[in-house]
Structure 1
Amino acid sequence: MKTVWIIIFILIPILSFSQNGGGNTRSLYKYHIKKTTNPITLDAAIGENEWNHHTPITNFYNHWPNDSGQAQNQTEVKMTYDSQNLYILAKCYDNGERIVQSLARDRDEDYWGSDNFSVALDPVNTKQSGFMFGVTAGGAEIEGSLTIEGSLTWLSENWDNKWASKTAQFSDYWLTEIAIPFKTLRYNANQQTWGINFIRGDKQNNAYTTWTQFPVNFNGISMNYMGSLEWDQSPEKAKGVFILNPYVTSSSVRDYENEDENEAQLKNDLGGEVKIALTSSLNLDLTLFPDFSNADVDEQVTNITRFNIFLPEQRNFFLENNDIFSNFGTYDVKPFFSRRIGIIEGDAIPIDFGGRLTGNISPNLRIGVMNVQTRQIGEYAAQNYSVGAFQQKVLKRSIIKGIFINRQATSTTTELEYSRNAGLEFSYVSESGKLNTTFLYHTSLTPENYKDTHFYGFDGYYSSKRLRTGWTLNVVGDNYITELGINPRLENYNAETEETVRLGYTLINPWLRYLTFTKDEDKKLNYHGLRTWHNLYLNSDGTFNESQNNAGYDFEYKNTARMILLARYRKVDLLFPTSLLGDDYTPIPVGDYSFVWSELRYSSDVRKTFVWNTNVNYGQFFNGTRLGTMIEGSLRFRPWGSFGITYDFNDVSLAENYGKDKIHLVRFNGDVSFSNKLSWRNVVQYNTQGDNFSIFSRLQWRYSPMSDIFLIFNENHDTTGLGIKNRSIVLKATYWL
């Protein structure tokens, strides 16, 4: 009964928010594009009669940190097209002082930290998915797919495809020309209106400006606040939509911990991907013997919680268009997480083949189907993984979506023969995007036919310029098993009996943030504000399990620096003996624990040559204390090099003989951009908790559009005697046909 009243209490603010109008920028901002009568040469130079027949956009509005008034440094944009490409010309006015963090492509942090120009497109014109293409003043490119979570638009820069740009700098402006092939985009043929917006990053002023004017609580790439691109004649279906992307690798790998392996294993592999546009808005991706050796190295982390942590996906095949599969559940429970495929206990399992069909089959219906087959390796059985999902747009912006997940063993195994999950969700999104709430129900199925296999609840938020507030309710059954998902709190480890026990729970998470924006130009702050969030976990029978109460204050400075002060209180009813610091210590016993701690976070001006940030926390920790400090410094020789070091230290001291440990994590990053096509990335990590010292180095040369040569070196040692564990050297070449 207690849970029911809590649910009703949380639903009251959800139902009390009115819809509020908004999102009508597509009718207010329109650009009429005309086909070019003269060839466009992509050279960052405005040729005679090349652009003078096309209407310019000359009025950009402030978006960040102030969403009122016109931009101080204006941008002029023109567009045209021919039978092959969409062309964009952008003239970005300034005083000649510019910041270019790096020349390397697809570096999200470096891109947004530089002077940049971006175009965001919604070719299907449904406000559900799209693309972004951007270039810095130094010519570093980034492209990505746009997806919707709730009412917010997010960019995934892991989507890659062919396009081109040229950039030139002058005394009072910089210029870029962009060419986007129609076959790169997914759109409905014969559709005469697309969604579009332009975003200008003016880093000297720490400002972002946009073509359309809309509230600052939505990011510049928001699909709800785009303008309209009106075609003089609708684009035809793109030709040449069959793309072959083969690869070849040559590798030398040795496992020094395997006594039977006395020398490096030399191996040559061949595989690749095929991309087929079945329609102008529906794409089929096929892969045979995929190789992920060029994926970025995982950043090692310190974990002194009771539950497992999950590192992000790094493999391109699973990242492209992944939102159709991954945008289910809430932040605490995710029914599908692609890193569960082809990786078991940190070991890579070879994938023989995979296929993925994604896109729109109608303006309001988007689908995704994926199938992947892994190989049998040792004790790990061969597995087939299938995922199907759909998103049906209803009302003006709301969505009904569903997912089905199946893992099926295809060779003899002593483990579960199969594991399946299914779910249905309804996301209500107001027309303005200020209010959204998702109601969800999921279930799982295994051969044991367990009861209590449910996961249901709701998740949402309300966002205005100053007030942002949200709510989450998760009710998870004892046997909601998500082999291909994330559900860390379900499995509880008993350190004394060495058993893992599944226990369902209810999570209630309200949060609130209120910001005060400064209007005085002489002030050092952009805004400051209070934040507070609270997590309450209940056992399946409604009794108390854990609570976390947090309060903080944010400061955002005009010079890009940030500071956050936090006070935190946690109470835990520990149900099982738990080893927080490893098996060498006595597990802390079952019982009630409550502890408080405080935290300071600060990051400096990212425009400086030397950039640093820190995180310091101190306070009680179960039956002891914890001091945590992280400091990170980076020396930037713009735009060609960035060299940084991170030191993360945790001093945990529990009572009596329950454990004391000093945990050290050191990470060195060295990135060199020889040009926009040649870059060198180096990462060295030393982690005492994971007993691992690793060296990663990757040289990448983009010798042709979407075609690369990689040279990768990876080596791992232990941290005691620095004995070597393994070493690999890989040469990989890809080619875009």
Structure 2
Amino acid sequence: MKLPFTLSLIVVSFVGLGQNGGGDTRALFKYQIKKATQPIVLDGAIGIEEWGQHLPITNFFNHWPSDVGQAQNQTEVKLTYDDQNLYLLAKCYDKESRIIQSLVRDSDDDYWGSDNFSFVLDPVNTKQSGFFFGVTAGGAETEGNLTIEGSQTWLSENWDNKWASKTAQYEEYWLVEMAIPFKTLRYNANQTTWGINFIRGDKQNNEYTTWTQFPVNFNGVSLNYMGSMEWDKSPEKAKGAFILNPYVTSSSVRDFEDENQSEAELNSDLGGEVKIALTSSLNLDLTLFPDFSNADVDQQVTNITRFNIFLPEQRNFFLENNDIFSSFGTYDIKPFFSRRIGINDGDAVPIDFGGRLTGNISPTLRVGVMNVQTRQTDEFAAQNYSVGAFQQRVLKRSVVKGLFINRQATSNTEELEYSRNAGLEFSYISDSGRLNTTFMYHTSLTPENYKDTHFYGLEGSYTSKRIRTGWTFNVVGDNYITELGINPRLENTNAETEETVRLGYTYINQWFRYITFVEDENKKLNSHGLRTWYNLYLNPDGTLNETQNNLGYDFQFRNTARMIWLTRYRKVNLLFPTSLIGDDFTPIPIADYSFLWSELYYDSDERKTFVWNTSLAYGQFFNGTRLGAMVQGSFRLRPWGSFGLTYDFNDIQLAEGFGKDKIHLVRFNGDISFSNKLFMRNVLQYNTQGDNFSAFSRLQWRYSPMSDIFLIFNENHDTQGLGIKNRSLVLKVTYWL
């Protein structure tokens, strides 16, 4: 009875919410850019001869927490260009009460926690992808790609490229100047109109303002609500679009658990990347013997679910323009996940070479092709990975997408010789972006020629200022195998026989949220609202696998603090004996379980010198109980240092005879920014569930734009006697030619 009822809700939502409108901000907000007649120097000063002839953008509108009226602290922006660069000058008015959390570049929390100015561009002018460049009042830079997921624009800050900025502090305002080389961007050489917007973060007042005015239910970086920059003469194809980024490393590595290794191994490696702009909007990336030793350390987590978890990608080669490959599937099923390449069970597998071709081959067609070859090791066969994808824009904003994946063994192996996946999706996005729905069909192929290799369904959402709702309907076959993707619920482990059984399922989800915005001038709250969501998993024969009903309430305070209350009720038809807290305990048996669970979260005012957040959760857990508590504190010596400590505790008490366990996770972060070119990151993590105590330290000196020297130390111990597992010390030098 539940399946037809939920499907009817999805249909009603799709039909009933399809009627919506929206203004064309690219037609309403325009800026005429003119070529510079004087050389532009980034010096944090307004040179009359440099900038005097260029008209300013003067009226910024409120965007968050209110999308009504003009900003109380205004911003003036000017743009110009020469043969090499696009230039920007922004004058950010305030009352000299600026918050600068850190000087570290590419730090998401520190950037958005500080007073900042962001410049977003859609050079191809298709509302499908774009670029982001941002600077804090203290001069900390960040850059990223803009991508579409559903109807929302999301920022991926892992993209890294060459550009420059300069900031300066004055009594009633602060200045930022930017110089963005044309060869950093991808654009059509004959394109006379670009999509652009500007986002000002006024952290003291906890406000964000934008050049264009659009609804608060869309991110400030929204590709759909940009203005237009009209060129007096379209920029030519960037010259010198061949970029070489070599590296050299010297390392000392010792595995203390390997009895055959009595001393550290000393190694030196050489490799690098080449970036070639085949056209102004199509880029070829090549890498030879890539080295990812400078990637950030994975953040340890506690996992007490029945399924594997997946840590995010950290490697730059796989992150740039990755959305064209990774945007397929739904929230918990991803046909392609790049971390499956070059990493096996947490161990790095050497990559010999890789290549990626990404970009637009026409104003409406975006493509991506990637090929990566891994090396044969004692544990793993050599593999070749090929991925191809396209995005064809249809109607005004809708997209037809296709994906093909091939994993092919290139040396002898007892594992599967190959594994292939293919999929086709259609994403409908309304003109305003309020309504979106994606219809998808995917399949897999392996040498066994299994049946039931399908994954199909739909996912969508509708969003207005106060009402947000969404729906998902997935059908997964028993043998939809995604070796290069994420499909955690497919494989079920029988803890008694240690067999792994693939079991398909049908997943139905519907969620709803209502937000109340507080307009009172003396308000303590910016907004508050109710949310609820429902998850249903059915077995292939239509019987219940799992259901979860959720209810929550959110409070967003004016002072940036936040509080969330959640209650969940789950029913699980457990089909296999399952170990929840380790193999040392008796698995919980096959049975029907139902349990109630409540959680409370609180985040303090992030503008303070000392910031803290905490959560407390308690409830039933299968045949027992679970208590969860987390406390996190961070002390900032702004802007040069931030020191934080996190303690995550779980006390699981299963029924008599099935075990009990106390899981401790402790993490220390110490980030020091000696300047906006020299940074040090330190992380200590103690995880009893993973039996690992690790120490990570990385010193980075950006001695020239996009050129760095890294010194990285990493060490791992067990948590029982703190016996050492492994240790490494790496010196890495990169240079941007």
- Give TM-score scaled by structure 2 length: 0.99
Cα drift, residue 332 of structure 1? 1.4
Q: What amino acid maps onto 1:233 in structure 2?
A: K
Alignment of 1:656-695 (within 5 A): 656-695=656-695
- For the pair 1:562 / 2:562, whether they are aligned, the reply is yes
**What is residue 479 of structure 2 aligned with on the other side?**
479
Name the structure 1 match of 2:730: 730
| Residues 555, 564 of structure 1: 8 Å contact kept | yes
One-letter identity of the residue aligned with 1:327: S
Q: Is the 8 A contact 1:19 1:432 kept in 2?
A: no
Q: Measure the CA separation in 2 of the matches of 1:286 and 1:363.
A: 24
What is the match of residue 181 of structure 1? 181
State the partner residue of 1:272.
272
| Corresponding residue of 2:130 | 130
User: Alignment partner of 1:12: what SS?
Assistant: helix
Residue 587 (structure 1) aligned with residue 574 (structure 2): no
Residue 304 of structure 2 corresponds to which residue in structure 1? 304
Cα distance in 2 for residues equivalent to 1:588 and 1:216 = 47
In the alignment, the residues of structure 2 paired with residue 690 and residue 346 of structure 1 have an alpha-carbon distance, to the nearest angstrom, of 12
Superposition deviation, residue 336 in structure 1: 0.3
Distance apart, 1:637 and its partner CA: 0.6
Instruction: For 1:379 and 1:194, locate their aligned partners in 2 and report how far apart those are by CA, in whole Å.
Output: 50
- Whether contact under 8 Å (1:23, 1:433) holds in the other structure is no
For the 8 Å contact 1:19–1:431, the answer to whether it is kept is no
In structure 2, C-alpha distance between the alignment counterparts of 1:64 and 1:4, rounded to whole Å: 39
Please state how far the C-alpha of 1:47 moved relative to its aligned partner: 1.7
Residue 416 of structure 1 is matched in structure 2 by 416
How many angstroms does 1:18 deviate by? 2.8
Superposed, 1:102-251 pairs within 5 Å as 102-251=102-251
Q: For residues 398-409 of structure 1, what are the structure 2 equivalents within 5 Å?
A: 398-409=398-409
Distance 1:314 1:56 in 2: 39
Query: Structure 1 residues 66 and 714, CA, compared in 2 at 3 Å: closer, same or farther?
Result: same
1:529-568 equivalent positions in 2, closer than 5 A: 529-568=529-568
Q: Which region of structure 1 is more displaced relative to structure 2, 269-278 or 20-29?
A: 20-29
C-alpha separation between the residues in 1 aligned to 2:6 and 2:35? 59
Partner Cα distance (2:293, 2:460) in 1: 38
Residue 37 of structure 1: aligned partner: 37
Q: Is 1:633 paired with 2:641?
A: no
Alignment coverage as a number of residue pairs: 737
Query: 1:684-731 deviations in whole A, cap 9, x for unaligned?
Result: 000000000000000000000000000000000000000000000000
Alpha-carbon distance in 2 for matches of 1:394, 1:423: 18
Tell me how far 1:554 sits from its aligned partner.
Answer: 0.3
Structure 2 gaps of 5+ residues are none
Q: Secondary structure at the match of 2:247?
A: strand
Partner Cα separation in structure 1 for residue 25 and residue 234 of structure 2: 21
Q: Give the corresponding residue for 1:622.
A: 622
C-alpha distance in 1 between matches for 2:95 and 2:66: 20
Partners in 1 of 2:331 and 2:191 — Cα distance? 36
What is the TM-score normalised by the length of structure 1? 0.99
CA distance in 2, matches of 1:195, 1:16: 31
Q: Which residue number in structure 2 is paired with residue 470 of structure 1?
A: 470
Assess if the C-alpha contact under 8 Å between 1:256 and 1:725 holds in 2: yes
Quick one: structure 1 residues 70 and 384, their matched pair in 2 at CA, closer, same or farther if it must change by over 3 Å?
same
SS in 2 for 1:471: strand
The CA RMSD measured in Å over matched residues stands at 0.8
The corresponding residue for 2:434 is: 434
Deviation for aligned residue 1:5: 5.7
Report 1:261-660 matches (<5 A): 261-660=261-660
Shift of 1:23: 4.4
- Deviation of the 1:4 alpha carbon: 5.3
Please tell me whether the aligned partners of residues 125 and 194 of structure 1 are also in contact (alpha carbons under 8 angstroms): yes
Letter in 2 for 1:92: C
Identity %: 81
Deviation at 1:300, TM superposition (A): 0.5
Q: Which residue of 2 aligns with 1:60?
A: 60
- Listed one character per residue, the Cα deviations across residues 543-593 of structure 1 (whole Å, up to 9, x for unaligned) are 111001100000000000000011110000000000111111110000000
For the residue of structure 2 that corresponds to 1:50, the secondary structure is: helix
Aligned amino acid, residue 345 of structure 1: D
Secondary structure, in 3 states, of the residue corresponding to 2:13?
A: helix
C-alpha separation between the residues in 2 aligned to 1:581 and 1:454? 33
| TM superposition shift of 1:16 | 1.5
Say if 1:3 and 1:542, in contact at 8 Å, map to a contact too.
Answer: no
Indicate if the aligned counterparts of 1:640 and 1:674 stay in contact, CA closer than 8 A.
yes
Q: Distance in 2 between matches of 1:10 and 1:545?
A: 21
Distance in 2 (CA, whole Å) between partners of 1:238 and 1:418 is 41
Q: What letter matches 1:494 in structure 2?
A: N
Rounded Cα–Cα distance in structure 1 between residues aligned with 2:632 and 2:121: 36
Distance in structure 2 (CA, Å) of the matches to 1:34 and 1:240: 23
Cα offsets for 1:480-536 (capped at 9, x unmatched):
000000000000000011100000000100000000000012010000000101100
User: Which letter maps to 2:250?
Assistant: S
- Could you tell me how far apart the structure 1 residues matched to 2:352 and 2:247 are? 14
Deviation per CA, 1:45-69: give whole Å up to 9, x if none.
1123111100001100000000000
Residue type at the aligned position of 1:704: S
Does residue 715 in structure 1 map to residue 715 in structure 2?
yes
Q: Quick one: distance in 1 between partners of 2:268 and 2:406?
A: 32
Q: In 1, distance between residues paired with 2:9 and 2:610?
A: 49
Q: Distance in 2 between matches of 1:551 and 1:257?
A: 47
CA contact (8 A) 1:673 1:679 kept: yes
* Counterpart-to-counterpart distance in 1, 2:53 and 2:539: 68
Structure 1: tracts of 5 or more residues without a match: none
Q: Deviations over 1:615-663 (max 9, x none)?
A: 1100100000000001100000110000000000000000011010000
Q: Alpha-carbon deviation of 1:379?
A: 2.8
Letter of the structure 2 residue corresponding to residue 390 of structure 1 = F
**Do the aligned partners of residues 23 and 453 (structure 1) sit closer, same or farther apart at CA in structure 2, a change above 3 Å counting?**
farther
Q: CA deviation at 1:151?
A: 0.8
**SS of equivalent residue, structure 2 residue 278:** strand
Partners of 1:114 and 1:413 lie apart in 2 by: 52
Alignment partner of 2:48: what SS? coil
Query: Contact 1:2/1:542 (CA < 8 Å) preserved in 2?
Result: no
